[in-house]
Structure 1
């Protein structure tokens, strides 16, 4: 029997070997039984399962950001990691010291251009309120819409005590505990990718990004906290909402 495989990604997945003694039912509707066995909902976040004859992959979707101290039941994850073959984690970005000139050049591009008060006068008042509310550093008037959106999003996340490093850290820690090999779904160079995005994005795309961030800041962190709590409770509909 193969070892289970656990895959973790922005969609996390765990693969396990299927039992050789699993019962096969060709036509469930052709069988009349006196009792019905219903599997109770497992504690913690929801899992998806994909399997073939000898391998089962368990997939766990994880939020983009959660409260820094979010508690969630890891018992199912802990059990599936026990004997797992591999843990596939989300794609990771890599930065190098040699990328510093590219980063500085990209940062300048996010500032060069017309003032935001000229490009998006209808957003200026909203942006000013959101900037002060989240204690973003510097002056929003120095940035292009995309740059202002990126700065504001980071400041809002810090102000609301949200983190993007969880629940990944907890999952990786448990994988090390069970000595399960971890492998990212992909590795990419972050700085050149950011440079390409900044160089090629349109003004309309930058404004759309900024407006989306403003909508989130004005809504406050509570919707994200509710979604994170729903995720932890296995409430998929609530997590997506």
Structure 2
């Protein structure tokens, strides 16, 4: 059975470096409500341009979450796709398991149980008292009296809390960009390239059992999630608005308390993750995407691609790698004399 897991790849490949943070007081309700999330039709950002001679690769940078009630007009993207000879999908991973469909269904109850702490511990047992007090405050604020989450590992508790926060803020992680891109690709019959790495998972049952019993270094995931909730919900909303309204300068100037890498690394760098090859996932998928980009720039007059914002802006990620190889990289509205700087700010939560 093959399972395509696009979300995991975005998390694993979009995580930037942690920015330094000064201690801040938790946001008040008034501060959290100071920014209204946009709704209705919105243009989205312009496109980054990578070029080699006359050949061009147009890249749309995405962020998540986005305003829940917005509709993306995407006029520029539709036009570029219609005029392109190829579209490159976001980097992806395909997991191949050693069990058939029925076998995987039989493992679902066990997989659900993997969210819980081993040895029936609760978050109160696992977290330092100060951190647990912060957790209780935000859980009550956004999740009410939900007690089931107290049995979860910190990484899964953090995710449950974060999803509740997004709903409260009128934000959503529901895919906005790719469904529209796929529709345009099919309409114009444009060849689609999917940069793909296949991970074969052997002894699925044994690895799942080992994961349930393993210790994860995931307290940092919950800590960073609480830091973001306490201090930067206004920035989270502002970034979503900036993407929706096409304010590229605003997108490039802001950064968030890093959350994704602490959560992703807890999984990828665990003993189970390393045994399954997850610890090298970021590098392997990056190489796959870069190979597709180079090929497209060699043969196509125009190519369209989608990447996470961190993959576009981060100096250690995709577009900077192409720039280092001699390709011209321009942000929306820039010329070749004013390209992405080496010290470009990073983005988080891709």
Q: TM-score range by the shorter chain?
A: 0.5 to 0.7
Is this contact kept in 2: 1:115–1:143, CA < 8 A?
A: yes
Cα offset, 1:196, TM superposition: 10
Query: Which residue is 1:149 aligned to?
Result: 158
Q: Is 1:186 equivalent to 2:196 in the alignment?
A: yes
RMSD: 3.7
Query: Which residue is 2:82 aligned to?
Result: 82
Cα separation, partners in 2 of 1:224 and 1:187, compared to 1, 3 Å: farther
Partners in 2 of 1:172 and 1:94 — Cα distance?
Answer: 19
Q: In the TM superposition, what whole-angstrom CA distance separates every residue of 1:57-113 from its partner, at most 9, and x where no partner exists?
A: 111111122112224452211210113222212234668664345554344333124
Q: Which runs of 5+ in 2 are unaligned?
A: 1-8, 14-42, 96-100, 255-350
TM-score calculated relative to the size of structure 2: 0.47
Query: Which residue is 1:129 aligned to?
Result: 137
Comparing 117-126 and 134-143, the one that deviates more:
134-143
Partners in 1 of 2:150 and 2:72 — Cα distance?
Answer: 41
Cα separation, partners in 2 of 1:237 and 1:174, compared to 1, 3 Å: same
Partners in 2 of 1:201 and 1:235 — Cα distance?
Answer: 44
Cα offset, 1:117, TM superposition: 0.9
Q: Is 1:56 equivalent to 2:56 in the alignment?
A: yes
Is this contact kept in 2: 1:83–1:178, CA < 8 A?
A: no
Is the partner of 2:58 in helix, strand or coil? strand
Is this contact kept in 1: 2:111–2:208, CA < 8 A?
A: yes
Is the partner of 1:80 in helix, strand or coil? helix
TM-score calculated relative to the size of structure 1: 0.65
Query: Which residue is 2:113 aligned to?
Result: 108
Partners in 2 of 1:190 and 1:145 — Cα distance?
Answer: 27
Comparing 129-138 and 226-235, the one that deviates more:
129-138
Cα offset, 1:156, TM superposition: 2.7
Q: In the TM superposition, what whole-angstrom CA distance separates every residue of 1:1-34 from its partner, at most 9, and x where no partner exists?
A: xxxxxxxx969xxxxxxxxxxxxxxxxxxxxxxx
- Structure of higher CA gyration radius: 1
Query: Which residue is 1:99 aligned to?
Result: 104
Query: Which residue is 1:228 aligned to?
Result: 240
Is this contact kept in 1: 2:67–2:241, CA < 8 A?
A: no
Partners in 1 of 2:155 and 2:192 — Cα distance?
Answer: 34
Partners in 2 of 1:171 and 1:197 — Cα distance?
Answer: 39
Q: In the TM superposition, what whole-angstrom CA distance separates every residue of 1:102-151 from its partner, at most 9, and x where no partner exists?
A: 55434433312432112212222222222233337542321121221222
Cα offset, 1:208, TM superposition: 0.4
Higher RCO (CA-CA < 8 Å; seq separation 6+): 2
Partners in 1 of 2:213 and 2:87 — Cα distance?
Answer: 35
Is this contact kept in 1: 2:66–2:244, CA < 8 A?
A: no
Q: Which runs of 5+ in 1 are unaligned?
A: 1-8, 12-42
Cα separation, partners in 2 of 1:159 and 1:190, compared to 1, 3 Å: farther
Cα separation, partners in 2 of 1:153 and 1:76, compared to 1, 3 Å: same
Is this contact kept in 2: 1:94–1:188, CA < 8 A?
A: yes
Cα separation, partners in 2 of 1:48 and 1:171, compared to 1, 3 Å: same
Partners in 1 of 2:159 and 2:186 — Cα distance?
Answer: 33
Cα separation, partners in 2 of 1:220 and 1:48, compared to 1, 3 Å: closer
